[in-house]
Amino acid sequence: MAIRARIVSVGTALPEKIVGNDHFATYLDTSDEWIVRRTGIKQRRFVDDPKSPTATSDLGSIAAKNAIDKAGIDPATIDAVICATFSPDNFFPSTACAISNKVGASKSFAFDISAACAGFVYGLTIANSLILSGQCKTVLLVGAEVVSRTLDFNDRSTCILFGDGAGAIVLRGEEGERGILSCECFSDGSLGDILKLPVPWNGSPSMFMNGTEVFKNAVRLMTDVTRKAICSARLEFADINLLVPHQANIRIIQAMGEYLGLSEDRVVVNVERFGNTSAASIPIALAEAWDSGRISEGDLVVFAGLGGGLTVGGAVARF
């Protein structure tokens, strides 16, 4: 029987500090009403103090430990640690190296990937390939971001959208029907300028986004990649139990649901409580759905993400 990369467990880490929309209205020309109507976001979590030492690897390692505990594995049996992030602790050493040290994955090789908000699906694609090739048996995949460090808090069109957080999954190679069934990734560098975080020595140190352009492309490309992932898994939409999309804007998620013909009960949404946590958003949404019983053994789940690059990824898994 064929080996598949099964998602064994998921863990999360969310900062305690909750910031509501009213906070932004105290110093910017914005309102709770505008933010909720245009984005669906009501609140987000930020690490305590932008100058405090909470690092992306701190959040990432808490999420990772949570996933490792739920999987019931010895961290020394993890073969690879992959961290998807655009807000790393350092350019190097990688955030994944710091996480592997913090969780005791002492025999792993570790590396970061840069695919912004599509990072989790890109990481899933790499983890799946490492397992199917026989190189790895167990992979820890983490999506972790301290986005608040990258924001211009005077830019009302970006700072209200994002939040900090981390999510992690353990994948293991196993015989059987359960596991990753398809991965589809695509990049379009010609659209690189519509969403970017320049290096500090080359322009603004804060994130830039042309929201309207990103919005249009997000609806189109995330819908396309979801269709492709379902098709390459040789499935039909009717077979899919749940869509777990990147959580950027409720209007993007609703438009996708409409194009794909998925009713609301088959789409996971939590953007109202966490905002856009970039590479962490899909595993955080997955954890909520799984922990609350919305995913049962045998269920088919499709993931879809889009981020700066542009990067686009979709994947189907049988749980």
Query: Do 286 and 292 contact (CB within 8 A), yes or no?
Result: no
Contact letters for ligand UT7, residues 153-192 (x by CB under 6 A)? ---xx--x--------------------------------
Query: Nearest distance from residue 293's CB to ligand UT7, in Å?
Result: 28
Pick out residues in 100-139 that bind ligand UT7 (CB under 6 A).
117
Examine residue 87 and tell whether it contacts ligand UT7 (CB under 6 A).
Answer: no
Active-site residue, from 117, 136, 183, 185: 117
How many other C-beta atoms lie within 10 A of the C-beta of residue 63?
Answer: 30
The encoded tokens of residue 67 equal 């996933």
Assess whether 154 carries a catalytic annotation: no
Query: CA-CA distances (angstroms) from residue 147 to 116, 125, 155?
Result: 11, 23, 14
Q: Which of 105, 248, 267, 280 binds ligand UT7 (CB under 6 A)?
A: 248
User: Kind and range of the H or E element at 225?
Assistant: helix 211-232
CB 277 within 8 A of CB 145: yes
* Known active-site residue 276: yes
> Shortest approach of ligand UT7 to residue 35 CB, angstroms?
6
DSSP characters over 80-108: EEEEE-SS-S-SSS-HHHHHHHHHT-TT-
Least CB distance to ligand UT7 at residue 191 (A)? 12
Tell me the per-residue interface mask from 43 to 82 with ligand UT7, x by CB under 6 A, - otherwise.
Answer: ----------------------------------------
Residues in the chain: 319
Instruction: Report the nearest approach of ligand UT7 to the CB of residue 9 (Å).
Output: 25
Contact 274, 248 (CB under 8 A): no
Q: Which of residues 260-279 bind ligand UT7 (CB under 6 A)?
A: 276
**Cα gap 314→95, rounded to integer Å:** 24
Catalytic residue, from 21, 66, 183, 246: name it: 246
CB of 214 to ligand UT7, least distance (A): 4
- Nearest to 59, CA basis, from 8, 29, 27, 103: 103
Q: Which of 98, 181, 214, 285 binds ligand UT7 (CB under 6 A)?
A: 214
Question: If binding is defined by CB under 6 A, does position 206 make contact with ligand UT7?
Answer: no
Compute how many other C-beta atoms are within 10 angstroms of the C-beta atom of residue 297: 7
151 within 8 A of 44, measured Cβ to Cβ? no
CB of 156 to ligand UT7, least distance (A): 4
Count of residues binding ligand UT7 (CB under 6 A)?
Answer: 21
| Phi/psi of residue 200, nearest 5 degrees | -60, -25
Enzyme catalytic residues = 117, 246, 276
Residues at the interface with ligand UT7 (CB under 6 A): 30, 34-35, 38-39, 117, 156-157, 160, 195, 211-212, 214-215, 218, 248-249, 252, 276, 306-307
